[in-house]
């Protein structure tokens, strides 16, 4: 199988590559490491917008891109969340909050895999897009961490992260309901088919 390394795919792969860089930077304390981490994450966020824009505008989307793009988002966000909970600097993100957010991502990924196995594709809803935008804003503030221009970026980031958590759980429940509703007719049809075969 030939893999097309289109511009959007290259940007997505580059975004995935920022995850280990962010993990490394979050092992250090101090404003310098925090500022660099914030800059790297900002570049990753911009690349997320750019790869989608280029794919739509120039028709350069691909099957690989459809697989890698959401995967890249989950890798980067999950890596940053885990490191923000375990970072040596204080204050830090509560570990239980990270568990809730990461568990939601794992469950939605599992549901998407189940739907795909049944030949069903469920596009990301508006709630999922809002969740991703809120998480990006929250993580940007949490990575910067320190106070600049009289703005406490950690406190601001935590405020937005609380909102993102509510939307994340809400969108996860909404996605679960959609998957169950979509798979139920298929399950009913298979059951009827089995009964006819038995008769």
Domain assignment present for residue 93? The answer is yes
Q: Which pLDDT score is estimated for 163?
A: 96
Domain assignment present for residue 49? The answer is yes
Question: Rounded to two decimals, what is the model's pTM?
Answer: 0.83
Asked whether residue 97 falls in the same domain as residue 134, the answer is yes
At 189, phi and psi to the nearest 5? Answer: -65, -40
**What's the length of the chain?**
199
Asked whether residue 49 falls in the same domain as residue 111, the answer is no
Which residue range forms the structural domain that includes residue 121? 89-190
Asked whether the predicted pLDDT for residue 20 surpasses 60, the reply is yes
CA–CA dist 163, 3 (Å, integer): 39
Going by pLDDT thresholds of 50, 70 and 90, the confidence category of residue 151 is very high
Asked whether the predicted pLDDT for residue 147 surpasses 70, the reply is yes
Q: What is the pLDDT of residues 88-136, one digit of tens each?
A: 888 889 999 999 999 998 888 888 788 777 777 666 678 888 898 999 9
Asked whether residue 101 falls in the same domain as residue 179, the answer is yes
How many separate domains does the chain show?
2
Asked whether the predicted pLDDT for residue 28 surpasses 70, the reply is yes
Asked whether residue 104 falls in the same domain as residue 16, the answer is no
Q: For residue 50, give the nearest of 6, 19, 81 by alpha carbon.
A: 6
Domain assignment present for residue 73? The answer is no
First to last CA, the chain: 44
In eight-state DSSP terms, residue 121 is: -
Domain assignment present for residue 46? The answer is yes
Asked whether residue 62 falls in the same domain as residue 95, the answer is no
Asked whether residue 58 falls in the same domain as residue 98, the answer is no
Of 61 and 76, the one with more pLDDT: 76
At 90, phi and psi to the nearest 5? Answer: -125, 150
């Amino acid at each position: 199988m030939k893999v097309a390394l289109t511009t959007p795919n290259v940007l997505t792969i580059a975004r995935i590559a920022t995850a280990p860089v962010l993990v490394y930077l979050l092992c250090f304390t101090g404003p310098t490491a925090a500022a660099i981490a914030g800059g790297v994450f900002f570049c990753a966020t911009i690349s997320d917008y750019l790869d989608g824009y280029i794919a739509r505008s120039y028709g350069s989307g691909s099957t690989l891109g459809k697989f890698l793009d959401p995967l890249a988002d989950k890798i980067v966000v999950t890596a940053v969340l885990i490191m923000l909970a375990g970072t040596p600097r204080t204050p830090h993100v509560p570990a239980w909050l990270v568990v809730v957010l990461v568990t939601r991502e794992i469950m939605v990924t599992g549901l998407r895999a189940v739907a795909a196995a049944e030949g069903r594709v469920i596009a990301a809803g508006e709630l999922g897009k809002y969740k991703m935008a809120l998480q990006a804003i929250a993580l940007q503030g949490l990575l910067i961490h320190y106070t600049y221009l009289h703005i406490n970026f950690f406190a601001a980031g935590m405020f937005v992260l609380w909102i993102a958590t509510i939307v994340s759980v809400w969108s996860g429940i909404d996605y679960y309901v959609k998957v169950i509703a979509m798979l139920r007719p298929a399950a009913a049809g298979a059951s009827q088919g089995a009964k006819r075969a038995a008769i």
